[in-house]
Amino acid sequence: MIPDWESERRRMVERQLRGRDIRNPQVLAAMLEIPREDFVAPECRILSYSDQPVQIGHGQTISQPYMTALMAQVLDLDGTETVLEVGAGCGYAAAVLGMLAARVVGIEIVPRLAAQARENLRRTGRDRNVTIVCGDGSAGYSETAPFDAISVAAAAPEIPVSLLEQLKDPGRLVIPVGGRNDQDLLLVQKHKGTIRSRRVTQCRFVPLRGGEGWK
Ligand code: SAH
């Protein structure tokens, strides 16, 4: 039997997001609209709306829905921003951010995942303002920098300096920082030349690879 994806999506938004601390109406609307099942490999589709990360191949995962929503919420977007998403994976979070910002550039280090993300975004009609590039996003993406907001979906040992440099003032960066197995999700804000950061929650992400990640 084919699941009723729309009901699953509604239930996910009610229980996993609204039932916790996701209050931003635009974030809730985006999570209700983007078909998460279209970003997950066919063999894992049944798990599309489960309250956990799901395998997407190449040892990588699509983040737990709550984490995608929380990261989008703390970026506090108003629809005018240019956003960099580091670690685009299958393109799901990039699609969500695409509904909340003017333009999204997603960067993914695994070429086959970057191709998959592009295909998922095209098939779901989300590629109008969302572009996927393949490369090491630990160094940001200087071609289209600076960014009003940056969302990093892989855990770094420290906040990469390049990302701070490519962040506008004012600007917001959300990133998991810590050890390989557990991290703090940090919200870093640049404002009038100063950088402030606060811990949002504890989290567990796959490692950020590359020059300014885990070698
Ligand atoms: N944003 C995804 C989550 C993907 S998991 C979602 O929508 O659910 C994190 C991704 O970061 C993986 O696909 C991994 O390959 C990628 N990654 C790790 N290090 C990277 C780097 N230095 N540059 C770009 N992508 C990276």
Name the percent of the chain lying above pLDDT 70.
Answer: 100
Q: In this structure, what token pair is assigned to residue 46?
A: 């049944």
- Please write the tens of the pLDDT for every residue from 151-202: 999 999 999 999 999 999 999 999 999 999 999 999 999 999 999 999 999 9
pLDDT at 57: 82
- Please write the tens of the pLDDT for every residue from 50-94: 999 998 888 889 999 999 999 999 999 999 999 999 999 999 999
For ligand 1, is residue 18 a contact (CB within 6 Å)? no
Residue 173 CA to ligand 1 center (angstroms) comes to 16
Residue 176 CA to ligand 1 center (angstroms) comes to 12
pLDDT at 58: 84
Secondary structure (DSSP) of 75-128: HT--S--EEEEE--TTSHHHHHHHTTSSEEEEEESSHHHHHHHHHHHHHTT--S
Q: Hey, how many other C-beta atoms are within 10 angstroms of the C-beta on 204?
A: 16
Is it the case that residue 49 has pLDDT exceeding 80?
Answer: yes
Mean pLDDT computed over 102-118: 97
Would you name the residues annotated as active-site residues?
63
pLDDT at 175: 98
- Confidence (pTM): 0.98
| Angstrom distance (rounded) from CA 173 to CA 158 | 13
Among residues 129, 145, 84, 86, the alpha carbon closest in space to that of 110 is found at 86
Is it the case that residue 215 has pLDDT exceeding 80?
Answer: no
| Sheet hosting strand 167-178, strand order edge to edge | 130-134, 103-108, 82-86, 147-152, 167-178, 183-191, 194-203
Secondary structure (DSSP) of 34-72: S-GGGGS-GGGGGGTTSSS-EEEETTEEEPPHHHHHHHH
- Please write the tens of the pLDDT for every residue from 3-33: 899 999 999 999 999 999 999 999 999 999 9
CB-neighbour burial class of residue 208 (10 A; exposed 0-12, middle 13-18, buried 19+): buried
pLDDT at 80: 98
| Angstrom distance (rounded) from CA 215 to CA 209 | 6
pLDDT at 88: 98
141 near 135, Cβ under 8 Å? yes
For ligand 1, is residue 162 a contact (CB within 6 Å)? no
Ligand 1: residue whose CA is nearest its atom 9: 87
| Angstrom distance (rounded) from CA 111 to CA 125 | 21
Instruction: Give the 3-state secondary structure of residue 4.
Output: coil
65-75 and 25-33 helices, crossing angle to 10°: 140
| Angstrom distance (rounded) from CA 64 to CA 104 | 20
Secondary structure (DSSP) of 163-181: HHHTEEEEEEEEEEEE-SS
Residue 97 CA to ligand 1 center (angstroms) comes to 15
For ligand 1, is residue 87 a contact (CB within 6 Å)? yes
Mean pLDDT computed over 93-115: 98
Q: Hey, how many other C-beta atoms are within 10 angstroms of the C-beta on 103?
A: 18
Mean pLDDT computed over 91-117: 98
